[in-house]
Structure formats: structure tokens, C-alpha cells
Amino acid sequence: MSDASYPRWARRTAGWMLATAWAAALVATHVPLSGVGPMRTSDKVLHVIGYMGLGGLFWLTRRLHGRSIARRGLVVLPVLMLYGALDELTQPRFGRSADIIDWLADVTGIAMAVIVCELATAAARMTSPK
């Protein structure tokens, strides 16, 4: 199946999943820490995992809309990097702290998502019958 021939329902479902995940991430990162119980893992790990998921959904949405490699990764990376920076900068207004290391963890998750998704796509193309 070519990138541009995915069914409309798949494109819409991916878009809704991305919008829902993005909204949940926005809310979760702006809940005052007083309302959050003790964490059992490093918050940096949570940043990597969260942004890897968000990056993967954003990448998938772009792929299902037929975007090329350049129009997937080269949009997903800077858009989510900017969002992550804005997310960190707005957290102090909600009783949280902005942390450059958190943003670097976000960027790591985004990059991992794009790399894994592109490698999986390349591997699938190499193994699919012509």
C-alpha cells in the first residue's frame, strides 16, 4: 500500500489519537506537583517515554497522510521540540519548574520515535514483496 492510499478512517483515527495524546500531555505536564504523588521512576524517563509516544503518533499521522521522509521527520522534530520548550517555559505558572534537562529528555524521546519509525518503515519496504 502506498503512503497516500491509506483509508480515510485510518488517517482520522491517527489524528484523533494524536490530538488526545497531545491534550493529555498538556494537562499532565501542567498539574501542580502538590497534586501528584511520589514518583517511582525518574521524571526524565517519563519525559523520554511521553515524548517518544507523542512523536510516534505525530509521525504516524504524517505518514498516513502520505508525507515523505523529509516531510515527516523534518516536521515532527522541530514542531515537538518547540512544543516541549514552550511546555517547560509555561510550567512555572502552574507551580512546576522549567528544566532544560527535561527538555533534552523530550528531544531524546522525539528523536528516538522518528528514528525507530523510519527504520521500521525501511525494514518493511525491504522485506515486502515487489
Per-residue confidence (pLDDT) for residue 99, from 0 to 100 = 94
Per-residue confidence (pLDDT) for residue 31, from 0 to 100 = 83
pTM of the model: 0.86
Report pLDDT digits (tens) over 40-89.
Answer: 778 899 999 999 999 999 999 999 988 787 778 889 999 999 999 999 99
Sequence-distant (≥ 6) Cβ neighbours of residue 110 within 8 angstroms:
51, 52, 54, 55, 76, 77, 80, 81, 84
- Count of CB atoms within 10 A of residue 6's CB? 15
Q: Is pLDDT at 1 greater than 80 in this prediction?
A: no
CB of 67 within 8 A of CB of 126?
no
CB of 60 within 8 A of CB of 73?
no
Per-residue confidence (pLDDT) for residue 43, from 0 to 100 = 87
Report pLDDT digits (tens) over 87-97.
Answer: 999 999 988 88
Q: Is pLDDT at 38 greater than 80 in this prediction?
A: no
